[in-house]
Structure 1
Amino acid sequence: MVDEKTKQAIEQIRTEWKKGDDQRDAGLPVELPEVTRINDIAYGPDPKWNLLDIYLPKKTTGKIPTIINIHGGGWCYGTKETYQFYGLGLAKRGFAFINPNYRLAPEVTFPAELDDVNLYIHWVAEHATEYNLDPENIFLVGDSAGGQMAEQYVAILKNTVYREKFGYQLPSLKFRAVALNSAAVFLLDPGMIDGAVKGYFTDEILLKQRDLLDTEKYITADFLPTFISTATEDFIRDASIKFAGFLTGKGVKHVFKEYGDQEHPRPHVFLINQKDKIADQANDDEINFFKQFIVK
């Protein structure tokens, strides 16, 4: 049950964050000459939320390495339209980009959003041939709340015990690497589940499904190669630093990047901003990391 105070916090986030996102993206083109854009493909039964866009780079030969996105937004905000400019920017760099919606809190609670992620990942597996996507070279990206789900989904892919707890089946895709940008990892740490976030991870969920939220307990040495990014003014910066150390301890290949400095500070998930030169560099770094793992 989601209380009225949490619902009000969610409404405030939706209003304030959309205003900020609209200001950030004002004037950006929704079409790029280098990219073919296919909108509003249904991947599941919900006519509003089970939709995705595909952005395909034009100058490619053969099957296209593919990035599947899990957007952020505190589990209660965000759409594929919010992420369209970021996705077009990555497609321009030579990767297909899958840009989905998923259902949001408080209309749904954990693990419904991850169920949607699993659904659209399986959709990609089933429809890759139609769009010339390369099922042998799949990459996962998530930021903030989406970063938490990306971390969790990789753990599910790589750990049979954890996967069985969710009841998911392995998709017929070869995931090569993951990028976690300002990710809400270590979800059970103090302060992570608070305010509007309780609209998704309710007190009842925390009581009954706490084990499923302890993702790091199920991460093994064969976790995907990981690109971790944060920024000087990222309010959950410490979680990314901690996760880099955690992966070091597990022996997992990873790169950790912190962007900005005292004179040029950068905020949480700044790399979505397509007008920002430092974000541009961060996206180049991420793509270059992925390119190391493409299998010809």
Structure 2
Amino acid sequence: MRVEWAKGDQARDAGLTTPAYIRRYNDIPYGDDRDWNALDVYRNRYKAGKLPVIMLIHGGGWVYGCKELYQYYGMELARRGFAVVNYSYRLAPEHPFPAQLQDTVAVAAWIMKHADEYGFDTNNVFAVGDSAGAHITGLFCAFLTDEGYRNQFAFQKPEGFRLRGVGMNCGVYGFEDHENDDGWVERNVLLGDLLSHPESPACREQIDVLHLVNRNFPPAYIMTCEGDFLKEQAPFLHSAYEKAGARSELHIFGSPEHPLYHVFHVTVQEAEGQKCNDEECAFFQGLIGRD
């Protein structure tokens, strides 16, 4: 998977360069693992002062990916007026869950600690995740809003940190079998890499976002598309939000006649991806300053 997926991502980004309007800070350590605990910060150099922040949580089936593969997508988000924190996290199977969640929490702590240095508005922090990254985003929301869930782990919530809103893009959220579920086989196979004991109901329950959503989850822009093999997961998450009394919007791009593809929005050269990113960032902008 790592070899084949890398070929596609490298082809997607061929010829792209850092735009002149972006100021970037590269390879900043945020944790103890020198191989994986590194992040970049992207800012629009024409936007002064403290900016709202987007944490960018990459996908890759929990076993693949790094910040370099999301840099151009991250800089597109920064163009829209955000300070983007794009980070790598430890991958399974070498680092099973909860390493990915622990690294995400460490990035949140880093943001709080370095807000003045990089111009972060810590009252307006958002997160975007796609595919497995959306799953990690959901677990991060549960960690931040549910003390009982948080107490299952040895690491702590960063003092003063909160998410104003999240973007959940082409994500995986639940692990039950459903009729006509094209993504069931792949995500359950990959659970064998993510979890130390994938056969354990307790371990699976600990990572099932659909059963963790609560009324205090941050507002969510939930996105999928025709052609996404995880398409049915987005309505499940939207329903879980509604049942919990939390706010979410469900957006489905493309059509049966003109399907798109899984995580199409990361391909910044295409109009549909730009439209999605515009709408998601506008959703975030609409949340700024609200309580």
Alignment TM-score, normalising by the size of structure 2: 0.92
**Alpha-carbon contact 1:70-1:141 (below 8 Å) kept:** yes
RMSD: 1.7
Separation of aligned partners in 2, 1:178 and 1:195: 27
CA, structure 1 residues 205+170, in 2 after alignment: closer, same or farther (shift >3 Å)? farther
Pairing 1:132–2:119 present: yes
Q: What residue is the counterpart of 2:30 in the other structure?
A: 43
**Unaligned regions of 5+ residues in structure 2, if any?**
179-183
1:155-214 CA deviation, whole Å, 9 max, x = no partner?
111111111112332222232101100111113556264234421124457355233123
**Alpha-carbon contact 1:76-1:197 (below 8 Å) kept:** no
**Alpha-carbon contact 1:143-1:183 (below 8 Å) kept:** yes
**Alpha-carbon contact 1:187-1:214 (below 8 Å) kept:** yes
Q: What residue is the counterpart of 1:115 in the other structure?
A: 102
Separation of aligned partners in 1, 2:162 and 2:208: 25
Pairing 1:28–2:28 present: no
**Alpha-carbon contact 1:135-1:173 (below 8 Å) kept:** yes
SS in 2 for 1:52: strand
Separation of aligned partners in 2, 1:46 and 1:167: 17
Choose which of 64, 67, 89 in structure 2 pairs with 1:77: 64
Choose which of 208, 214, 223 in structure 1 pairs with 2:208: 214
Taking only the aligned residue pairs, the percentage that are identical comes to 37
Separation of aligned partners in 2, 1:232 and 1:25: 23
**Alpha-carbon contact 2:41-2:85 (below 8 Å) kept:** yes
Aligned length: 283
Pairing 1:281–2:275 present: yes
**Unaligned regions of 5+ residues in structure 1, if any?**
1-12
Q: What residue is the counterpart of 2:181 in the other structure?
A: none
Alignment TM-score, normalising by the size of structure 1: 0.91
Separation of aligned partners in 1, 2:200 and 2:129: 23
Choose which of 191, 198, 201 in structure 1 pairs with 2:192: 198
SS in 1 for 2:217: coil
Pairing 1:144–2:115 present: no
Q: What residue is the counterpart of 1:19 in the other structure?
A: 7
1:226-252 CA deviation, whole Å, 9 max, x = no partner?
000001011010011111122122221
- Paired AA for residue 54 in structure 2: I
**Alpha-carbon contact 2:210-2:237 (below 8 Å) kept:** no
**Alpha-carbon contact 1:60-1:94 (below 8 Å) kept:** yes
**Alpha-carbon contact 1:148-1:187 (below 8 Å) kept:** no
